[in-house]
């Protein structure tokens, strides 16, 4: 698998990442082992997790598999901290919480460092400088090699990156931002993506298959019993992308797939993988078969006319201040 630099850093990652959102909850050790081994065998390196995935179970499971199943040195391990696992989905990006969470992550992952440590979300109750100082401490102590953020809006990302760059050479620049991005969710193109491109921050798209909807499995209102849409836990996660607007985009992806003799999954994944600024979409496959289909996209490049057609059918509506008002 080809490698890409993560933003304007020296860290290189596989241009597809393996997500572990369901590990330790819906994905057990045997299935996780098959996924990780297949990913590594295909040249994949970036594995993304978080301290709250499976209430820590995802990190613990990944830690059990590292070293014994795949070489630790071949993997780029990315994890996140800042989410608080309670019913209100709070975020705590204070220095104390973040650094304590990092130590707990390292213990579960059975490693002395992570390659990429990310703040899971912006915390308006904590001064941003305090949050960023935690990243400095983590990298300075060797517990993290690179640092990034997740779910930051455009202004939050720009403010954080500018603070890091203000003392050039003495602060760790942000390597990445992880955001939901797909043909069904192009909201980051309004402000986040332009900021990332300008500041040299790599984009790691989460849910690049529109929470599974872009695979076409929900066409004509079908909800397969083994799908996320049928899961009590994940059905509310999928539901926003089952409306008429999404259906038109899914149909267009299916038509493109038919014309190319590939699957809708491959078309949707190739589209987001090759967007400007994208380093590596994070794929959350549940089975080795699903992962194999995603990995096969390595050899697929969408023809320009198909890419433009998908751009048009999925184009978000951006008005003021994004429009060019110079002629008015």
Q: Is 53 a residue of the active site?
A: yes
Instruction: Give yes or no for a contact between 116 and 175, defined as CB atoms under 8 angstroms apart.
Output: yes
Q: DSSP states of 194-206 as a string? A: HHHHHHT-EEEEE
Query: CA-CA distance, 27 to 186, in Å (whole number)?
Result: 28
Residues in the chain, how many? 328
Q: Where are the beta strands (DSSP E) in 23-173?
A: 46-48, 76-81, 83-84, 90-91, 114-119, 144-150
Tokens of 13: 């990652």
Query: CA-CA distance, 153 to 301, in Å (whole number)?
Result: 30
Name the residue among 167, 168, 174 with its Cα closest to residue 131: 174
Q: What is the CA radius of gyration of the chain?
A: 19
Name the residue among 141, 204, 197, 205 with its Cα closest to residue 172: 141
Cis upstream peptide for 321 (omega within 30°): yes
CA dihedral sign, ordered 26, 3, 160, 155: negative
Query: Among residues 53, 60, 146, 181, which one is catalytic?
Result: 53
Catalytic residues: 53
């Amino acid at each position: 698998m080809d490698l890409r630099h993560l933003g304007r850093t020296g860290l290189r990652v596989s241009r597809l990442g393996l997500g572990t959102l369901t590990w330790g909850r819906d994905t057990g050790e045997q299935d996780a082992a098959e996924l990780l081994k297949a990913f590594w065998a295909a040249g994949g390196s970036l594995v993304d997790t978080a301290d709250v995935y499976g209430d820590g179970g995802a990190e613990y499971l990944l830690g059990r598999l590292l070293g014994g199943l795949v070489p630790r040195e071949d993997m780029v391990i990315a994890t996140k901290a800042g989410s608080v696992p309670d019913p209100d989905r709070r975020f705590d990006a204070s220095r104390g919480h973040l650094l304590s969470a990092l130590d707990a992550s390292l213990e579960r992952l059975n490693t002395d460092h992570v390659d990429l440590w990310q703040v899971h979300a912006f915390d308006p109750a904590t001064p941003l400088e305090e949050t960023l100082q935690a990243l400095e401490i983590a990298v300075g102590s060797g517990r993290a090699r690179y640092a990034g953020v997740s779910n930051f809006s455009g202004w939050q990302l720009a403010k954080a990156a500018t603070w890091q760059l203000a003392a050039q050479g003495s602060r760790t620049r942000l390597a990445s931002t992880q955001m939901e991005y797909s043909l069904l969710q192009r909201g980051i193109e309004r402000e986040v993506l332009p900021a990332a491109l300008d500041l040299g921050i790599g984009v790691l798209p989460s849910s690049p298959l529109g929470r599974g909807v872009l695979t076409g499995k929900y066409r004509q209102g079908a909800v397969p019993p083994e799908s996320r849409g049928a899961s009590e836990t994940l059905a509310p996660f999928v539901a926003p992308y089952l409306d008429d607007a999404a259906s038109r985009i899914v149909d267009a992806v299916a038509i493109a797939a038919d014309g190319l003799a590939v699957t809708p999954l491959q078309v949707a994944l190739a589209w987001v993988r090759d967007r400007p600024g994208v380093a590596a979409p994070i794929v959350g496959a549940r089975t080795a078969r699903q992962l194999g289909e995603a990995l096969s996209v390595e050899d697929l490049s969408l023809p320009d006319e198909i890419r433009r057609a998908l751009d048009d059918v999925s184009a978000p509506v951006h008005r003021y201040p994004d429009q060019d008002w110079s002629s008015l």
